[in-house]
Amino acid sequence: MVHSTKSFDRKKSRFKPQPQVLVLCEDSKSGKRYLEEAAFHFRAKAQVEIAHCGVTHPSGIVERAIARQKRFDRVFCALDRDTHQCFERAIDLARPHPKIKVIASFPCFEFWLLLHFGFNRKPFRAVGKNSPGDLVAKSLREKPNMDKYQKGKGINYFAQLLGEPFQKAKALAPKILEDVAISGEPNPSTEIHLLMDEFETLSKPQPI
């Protein structure tokens, strides 16, 4: 029997190659651990590298993203506004680079965790020696089962808050951004839900 050479051709994939994604964050433990666990949960871990890049200020993180972007299809920088003086400079540095997207939290990542417990638009302002970020963490510790929260602890809060609390945060974060657009006041708000959406998209084959 004569076989056509075409019958031996490998079938072309019906799906796009999975993009290579880099996520850089300033928090080496709690925030980084949360994002790693989220990527794993959505089965996006193979396509996502989450790295604490050795610097803890926004502009330094974006500079590292710019230096590394050639190896990736998309780069996300999870930045806390808090009291960083170079936050606006970081936004300006990222703007000319289409691959790089800033995921901003006002004042910090912990506000995303706080949204798991309900709506909040009361601004967090520095009081005495406490930064806005310190006060968000303090509010978070007042929530059920969060009394021992510390930013530097590598506890798996993603698993702890998964389910209804997680869905609540995903629903509230965009509504808060809508209010930010109207009021012009970003404190408090977060874009972490956009990163969760990205992880979820990475977990699904994308047709060509």
CA dihedral over 40, 42, 47, 53, signed as positive or negative: negative
Question: Domain spans of the chain?
Answer: 17-202
Burial class of residue 81, CB neighbours in 10 A (0-12, 13-18, 19+): buried
Instruction: Look up the pTM and report it.
Output: 0.88
At residue 204, the pLDDT reads: 77
End-to-end CA distance of the chain: give it in Å, rounded: 35
Q: Residue 15: what pLDDT?
A: 63
What is each CA distance from 18 to 38, 71, 79, 175, 206, in whole angstroms? 18, 14, 25, 30, 8
For residue 59, give both structure tokens: 């502009």
What is the three-class DSSP state of 148? Answer: coil
| Per-residue DSSP letter, 13 | P
Higher pLDDT, residue 7 or 97: 97
CATH T-level fold of 17-202: Rossmann fold (3.40.50)
Report pLDDT digits (tens) over 46-91: 678 787 777 778 999 999 999 999 999 999 999 998 878 889 999 9
